[in-house]
Amino acid sequence: MKERLSRRDFLLQCGRCTLLCAGAGVLGWTLLPETTAAQGLERGRLGRKLSPYFTALDGGRIRCTLCPRECEVSKGGRGYCRVRENSDGRYYSLVYGNPCAVHVDPVEKKPFFHVLPSSLSFSVATAGCNLACKFCQNWEISQALPDDTLNYDLPPEQVVEKAVASRCRSIASTYVEPTIFIEYMIDMGTAARKKGILNTMHSNGYINPAPLEDLCRVLDAACIDLKGFTDDYYRELTEGTLAPVLATLKKLRQSGVHTEIVNLVVTGKNDDIDCIRAMCRWIRDELGPDVPLHFIRFYPLYRLKSLEPTPVTTLENAWRAALEEGLHFVYLGNLPGHPAESTFCPGCKARLIERIGFRSTVLGIQDGRCSACGMSIPGIWKDPAAGA
């Protein structure tokens, strides 16, 4: 029998290999070809950057203004996310340019189903998160300190260079909550625009309006986890609240950022069909029927190992309910080969994109329209570099 690693040793192994644990084989990772030595991989914090997202308080304390927690932090202390520190009354990001995970993924893993199908996405993450989801599949880094992970020295410009070298058409800030390294995200987005590469994120949407507005200026696409549709669910399973996430979704749509939504259906927790219908109606009425919605199958892991995987019938019922409530693009995830992985035209019902797992084949989209009936299909279908 193999010896069980301690949590500390496991973190070090994770950082050394940049291989995240991905519960039940739901996700896989493609490692970069460079050696860790060439990448500058080192244990602990490699640098810091002054954040604009704080207010100075009396006695050297600060109030963070990045996310709805608005942590009040004394000198030498850190916020809830673990990656921001009060140094002599000034608030610093401890993870700027210091990702602990760097991978090349299919864009479908984000999951983006309406963004450059079958293209590659250069994916980065640091340690830390501003929620504490009991079902987190990447908890080894999301709940870690940057002091305890092995981190790359990778400034924004180098991220873009490596994305180009890896033939990636997008950069994705992902795996953990990326808004905790917003300064890094913004600078990556600025550099990416110069090279015709998309800047994207997979986020929990737990961010305040002002920093989100700054981010939207350099953000092309966002996949947002709408984890449930009640405050009780958010408080019990994430230590967060619902309203800020709904506000983020509205702001992204208003800003013209392509938006997709993920809802992880957790057995016995957020699978009530009436609540799912209410969520779908909100999406339809507040965001529009064309926003893609992904229902994802839950597998037991982290702090919810006692639960059963989501029954396929539960997911199929949610899928049908969403369509009945008027959403046009509804998908089922973690069910490779299911017909609901594919994209169909809401007008003529032609299959536009066939998917099996993370493999996509475009069958019927031409210039952003259904090839059969001409109906406009929302998404990013044209490579921005093609016009650069």
Domains of the chain: which residue ranges?
Answer: 101-387
The confidence score (pLDDT) of residue 170 equals 98
The confidence score (pLDDT) of residue 164 equals 97
The string of pLDDT tens digits covering residues 32-51 is 433 333 356 777 666 789 99
The confidence score (pLDDT) of residue 387 equals 54
User: What value does the mean pLDDT take over residues 363-383?
Assistant: 96
Phi, psi for 179 (deg, rounded to 5) = -65, -15
Q: What is the CA radius of gyration of the chain?
A: 20
Q: Is the per-residue pLDDT at 129 higher than 70? A: yes
- Yes or no: domain 101-387 corresponds to CATH 3.20.20.70: yes
* C-alpha span between 160 and 226 (Å, rounded): 29
* C-alpha span between 191 and 300 (Å, rounded): 39
The confidence score (pLDDT) of residue 37 equals 36
The confidence score (pLDDT) of residue 130 equals 98
Contact of 270 with 304, CB cutoff 8 Å: no
Q: Closest by alpha carbon to 327, among 294, 262, 374, 283? A: 283
Mean of the per-residue pLDDT values of the chain: 90
Looking at per-residue pLDDT, the higher value among 371 and 14 belongs to 371
Give residue for tokens 């500058």. Answer: 40
Q: Beta-carbon neighbour count of residue 6 at 10 Å?
A: 9
| Residue 383: band (very low, low, confident or very high) from pLDDT cuts 50, 70, 90 | confident
Contact of 196 with 84, CB cutoff 8 Å: no
* C-alpha span between 66 and 88 (Å, rounded): 19
The confidence score (pLDDT) of residue 50 equals 97
Least confident of 13-22, 162-171, 255-264: 13-22
Q: Is the per-residue pLDDT at 301 higher than 50? A: yes
Strand arrangement of the beta sheet that strand 90-93 belongs to:
49-50, 90-93, 84-87
Least confident of 37-51, 70-84, 198-212: 37-51
The confidence score (pLDDT) of residue 4 equals 37
Q: Is the per-residue pLDDT at 11 higher than 60? A: no
Contacting residues for 364 by C-beta, under 8 A, at least 6 apart: 345, 350, 351, 352, 353, 370, 371, 372
Positive or negative, the CA dihedral 232, 236, 238, 239 is positive
* C-alpha span between 376 and 288 (Å, rounded): 14
Phi, psi for 115 (deg, rounded to 5) = -135, 110
Q: Is the per-residue pLDDT at 386 higher than 60? A: yes
* C-alpha span between 189 and 192 (Å, rounded): 5
* C-alpha span between 180 and 96 (Å, rounded): 10
User: What value does the mean pLDDT take over residues 293-298?
Assistant: 98
User: What value does the mean pLDDT take over residues 122-143?
Assistant: 97
